[in-house]
């Protein structure tokens, strides 16, 4: 069971019912922060939750954009998912307390 709320202009997602909760920060890239209306989201989750499950929760709250980003992880796409500043190739990575999920938008041109 999950609960979303806003605290000090930051989204807080709590996973209720777990014994041990971890805090993870989600930093939204410029295009995504326009979609969700904030720059970062602090998520409180149960131990054992993986990236894919976090993206399911973000999709429930903010819509299809996160489902599209998650399904493109590890492949060439317009938005890269990073966990602690490392590109994510597989969404089944379990999260740890203090992890940071962020996004990069590759630039190209000449």
Q: At 10, which CATH number?
A: 3.10.20.30
Joined tokens for residue 34: 């326009």
Q: What pTM was computed for the model?
A: 0.75
* Residue 109 located in a structural domain: no
Residues 52-81 as b or e (16 or more Cβ within 10 Å = b):
ebbbbbbbeebeeebeebbeebeeeeebbb
Q: How many domains does the chain have?
A: 1
Is 7 contained in some domain? yes
Query: Residue 39: inside a domain, yes or no?
Result: yes
Q: What is the pLDDT along the chain (110 residues), one digit of tens a residue?
A: 344 433 334 555 555 555 568 889 999 888 788 888 888 888 888 888 888 888 888 888 887 777 777 666 655 566 788 999 998 888 889 999 999 999 887 776 55
Q: Which domain holds residue 88?
A: 2-104
Judge whether 110 lies within some domain.
Answer: no
Nearest CA among 79, 82, 11 for reference residue 40: 11
| Inter-residue contact 67 to 59 (CB < 8 Å) | yes
């Amino acid at each position: 069971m999950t609960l979303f709320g806003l605290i000090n202009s930051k989204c807080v997602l709590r996973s209720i019912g777990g014994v041990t909760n971890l805090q993870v920060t989600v930093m939204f890239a410029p295009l995504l922060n326009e979609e969700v209306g904030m720059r970062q989201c602090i998520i409180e989750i149960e131990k054992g939750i993986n990236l894919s499950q976090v993206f399911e929760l973000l999709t429930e709250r903010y819509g299809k954009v996160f489902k599209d980003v998650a399904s493109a992880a590890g492949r060439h796409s317009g938005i890269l998912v990073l966990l602690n500043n490392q590109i994510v190739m597989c969404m089944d990575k379990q999260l740890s307390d203090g992890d940071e999920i962020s996004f990069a938008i590759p630039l190209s041109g000449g």
